[in-house]
């Protein structure tokens, strides 16, 4: 049985339903990210898991226990918010001790736990400082220590990195992941930043208007987005519109190409998504999936050369590794592109039974 189970969870505010019959099972020790644009229901879902918000319908179980109607303090969750939310009038050590004091733990236990937590986040020397004397990144590490001090079963992180500058964001992201692995704690992380989600998660839940659009590992979500929304929300890609032309074939821009097998009746409209790195300029021996095009733009980025290539009525983005022996093509040059059929992803297909 999974550690955390959300079953048919719904949330309505008055007449507005913002989470629709949401199902998700999370395993013990897993790091799962809710990813989606502003207003898609990420925070509302997290608040229901934490107990700050009651579902309108459905159940939430943690480790086999139905917690749907339990208050936050009975759920053993630790939460970290975007704004550090430390108590400004308390020292770092007192902030970390707060939950333990509320729980009435003995003094000696609190002292040693605070010490352990501060060592864990490598701020052992700053226990006597006040939050205003810390950098944003340090404050967020204290918030993390405070959340972990009560030894929660679940760690909930609501955009904990978005208030920090880029460099700190990267290092703290790694630190959170290392800590989560070390402690073996189950974590849910909320973000609207796709790169963050790809790098930190065991699994990503792509949310769109209160529904799970797709659930999968970063590798699956990036390489095999199932819907137009999931595809467009994660990474850069180009879309080729056409129609089915027999099993595993598609007619597009006046030519026939091979695509992943799909079972669509000939003539049915199809959308093929291609990542820039799936396309290459030098089709060595490829006889199929050759697309004739014209270079519109060349962006030399160093290790990668990004090109915009016009193919019929469509512009495709293509990333090729820099080859020191071969200068990139010039604007206006006619080229032949190639992609492997398995690297194309058909979107919005009916789900296989």
| 54 forms part of the interface with ligand ATP (CB under 6 A) | no
| 36 forms part of the interface with ligand ATP (CB under 6 A) | yes
CB of 177 to ligand ATP, least distance (A): 21
Stretch binding ligand ATP (CB under 6 A), from 37-45, 195-203, 267-275, 316-324: 37-45
CB of 210 to ligand ATP, least distance (A): 7
SS3 232: helix
CB of 18 to ligand ATP, least distance (A): 4
| 43 forms part of the interface with ligand ATP (CB under 6 A) | yes
Specify the residue, 35 or 346, whose C-beta has the smaller distance to ligand ATP. 35
- Take residue 236 and report the two structure tokens written for it: 């850069």
Paired residues of 31 in beta bridges? 187
Stretch binding ligand ATP (CB under 6 A), from 40-48, 57-65, 243-251, 302-310: 40-48
Specify the residue, 39 or 269, whose C-beta has the smaller distance to ligand ATP. 39
Number of residues that bind ligand ATP (CB under 6 A): 11
| 70 forms part of the interface with ligand ATP (CB under 6 A) | no
CB of 211 to ligand ATP, least distance (A): 12
Parallel, antiparallel, or unpaired: how do β-strands 77-80 and 154-158 relate? parallel
| 138 forms part of the interface with ligand ATP (CB under 6 A) | no
Binding site for ligand ATP (CB under 6 A): 13, 18, 36, 38-44, 192
């Amino acid at each position: 049985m999974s550690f955390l189970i959300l079953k048919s969870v719904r949330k309505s505010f008055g007449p507005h339903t913002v989470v629709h019959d949401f199902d998700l099972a999370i395993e013990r020790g897993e790091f799962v990210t809710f990813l989606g644009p502003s207003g898609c229901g990420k925070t509302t879902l997290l608040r229901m898991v934490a107990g700050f918000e009651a579902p309108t319908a459905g159940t939430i179980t943690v480790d086999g226990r139905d917690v749907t109607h339990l208050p936050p303090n009975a759920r053993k969750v630790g939460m970290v918010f975007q704004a550090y939310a430390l108590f400004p009038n308390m020292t770092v050590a007192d902030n970390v001790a707060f939950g333990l004091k509320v729980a009435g733990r003995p003094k000696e236990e609190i002292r040693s736990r605070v010490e352990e937590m501060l060592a864990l986040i490598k701020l052992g020397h700053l226990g006597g400082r006040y939050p205003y004397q810390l950098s944003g990144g340090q404050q967020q590490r204290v918030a993390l220590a405070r959340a972990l001090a009560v030894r929660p079963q679940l760690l909930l992180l609501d955009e904990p990195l978005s208030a920090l500058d880029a460099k700190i964001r990267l290092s703290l992201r790694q630190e959170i992941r290392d800590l989560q692995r070390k402690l073996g704690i189950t974590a849910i992380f909320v973000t609207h930043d796709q790169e963050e989600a790809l790098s930190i998660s065991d699994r990503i839940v792509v949310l769109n208007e209160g529904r799970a659009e797709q659930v999968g590992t970063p590798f699956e979500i990036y390489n095999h987005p199932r819907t137009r929304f999931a595809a467009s929300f994660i990474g850069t890609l180009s879309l080729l519109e056409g129609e089915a032309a027999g099993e595993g074939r598609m007619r597009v821009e006046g030519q026939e190409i091979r695509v992943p097998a799909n079972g669509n009746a000939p003539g049915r409209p199809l959308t093929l998504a291609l990542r820039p790195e799936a396309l290459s300029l030098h089709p060595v021996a490829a006889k199929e999936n050759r697309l004739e095009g014209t270079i519109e733009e060349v962006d030399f980025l160093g290790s990668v050369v990004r090109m915009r290539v016009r193919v019929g009525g469509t512009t495709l983005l293509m990333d090729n590794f820099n080859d020191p022996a071969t200068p990139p093509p010039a604007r206006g040059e006619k080229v032949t592109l190639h992609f492997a059929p398995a690297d194309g992803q058909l979107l919005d297909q009916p789900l296989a039974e």
